[in-house]
Amino acid sequence: MSALDMQDVRKVYGSGDTEVVALDHASIAVGDDEMVALVGPSGSGKTTLLSIAGGLLSPTDGAVRVGPHEITQYDRRELTRFRREFVGFVFQGANLVPFLTAKENLLVAADLAGRKGKHTERRAETLLEELGLAARMGNTPAALSGGEKQRVAIGRALMNEPELVLFDEPTSALDTKLGEQVMDLIRSEVKGRGTAAVVVTHDSRMTHYADRTVEIRDGRLVA
């Protein structure tokens, strides 16, 4: 079973004359431990595809399955629960909670999913150690560099052992060298765990880290 399976997915905004087709009969399957790079120009539908795969948006037509979860018909509450427990997100610019330490930022994700206790704390510490942040656990985002923040965000995405991790331009705020380090880390983390990943990027220098690159243009997947 693939980690992500989108069949004939359409997403249309507005109606009549103002109708905008953001995603047009898009079908994609991502294997259990596959890392796919999704590239395309601005406004091509990358973000929409990522949002639908992560249960942030519902498709207008088509079917979306993540692991065993058929999320197409999920209502808002079910989608919230699904995001909490089965997907990880890494956003542009990290988007960490500014008044929490690196470790607490990881624990927020666990807390939302109802995971608490010593075991959870140890998991956060282990993840941060793996991400090379052992000495930075107690620092708030303001005291972390751009690359460190993005690594904390990766830790947060992996905290609940998701079946699928979605990366939205994870290197856009970083210089090339840091970007490559982060992509290298993403690859080793997802591959090491056998987690599927979709990485949205507009930076063609980063695509070789992925197993496969899919291009999207005007809402259609072209490769």
Partner 1 sequence: MKLAWKELTRRPSRFLTAGGALTLIVILLLLLGGLLDGLYLSATAALRAQSASVIVYSTESRDSLLRSRIEPSTREQVAAVDGVESVTGFGIALLGAKIPGRSDLADVAVFGYEAANARVPAPLPTGQVYADRTLQDEGVAIGDTLLLGPAQTPVTVKGWVEDTAYLFQSGLWANAETWRRVLAENRPDQVLGPGTFQALLVTPHEGVSDQRVANAIDTQVPGVSALTKQEAILGLPGVEQQSSTFASIIGVTFLVAGLVVALFFALVTLERVGLFGVLKAIGANSRTLAAGLALQALLIAAGAFALGGALTLLLARVIPPEVPLQLVPKRAIFIAIGIVVTALIGSAISFRRIVRIDPASAVGGS
Of 28-36, 86-94, 189-197, 201-209: span binding partner 1 (CB under 8 A): 86-94
Residue 144, Cβ density class (10 Å: 0-12 exposed, 13-18 middle, ≥19 buried): buried
Residue from 30, 89, 179, 216 that binds partner 1 (CB under 8 A)? 89
Contact 213, 39 (CB under 8 A): yes
Residue 106: closest CA among 144, 66, 151: 151
The answer to whether residue 161 forms part of the interface with partner 1 (CB under 8 A) is no
Among 85, 121, 180, 215, binds partner 1 (CB under 8 A): 85
Per the structure block, which two tokens stand in for 66? Answer: 């993540």
Residue 78 parent element (H or E): helix 76-86
Q: Which residue of 10, 25, 81, 193 would you call a contact of partner 1, by CB under 8 A? A: 81
Minimum Å distance from CB 171 to partner 1? Answer: 13
Q: Which of 90, 56, 88 is nearest to 71 (CA)?
A: 56
Residue 74 engages partner 1 in binding (rule: CB under 8 A)? no
Mark the segment that binds partner 1 (CB under 8 A) among 99-107, 123-131, 187-195, 212-220.
Answer: 99-107
Burial class (CB in 10 A: 0-12, 13-18, 19+), 213: middle
Size of the site for partner 1 (CB under 8 A): 32
Q: How far apart are CA 210 and CA 48, in angstroms?
A: 20
Q: Which of 51, 171, 201, 207 binds partner 1 (CB under 8 A)?
A: 51
- Per CB under 8 A, does 178 bind partner 1? no
Point out which span in 31-39, 59-67, 80-88, 201-209 binds partner 1 (CB under 8 A): 80-88
CB of 215 to partner 1, least distance (A): 18
For residues 169 and 156, what is the distance between their CA atoms, to the nearest angstrom? 16
Is 109 among the residues that bind partner 1 (CB under 8 A)? Answer: yes
Stretch of 23-31, 51-59, 123-131, 209-217 contacting partner 1, by CB under 8 A: 51-59
The answer to whether 19 and 182 have CB atoms below 8 angstroms apart is no
Q: How far is CA 171 from CA 60, 141, 148, 202, 222, in A?
A: 30, 17, 12, 10, 23
Binding residues for partner 1 (CB under 8 A): 47, 50-51, 54, 56-57, 77, 80-81, 83-85, 89, 91-93, 95, 97-100, 104, 108-109, 111-113, 156, 166, 168-169, 172
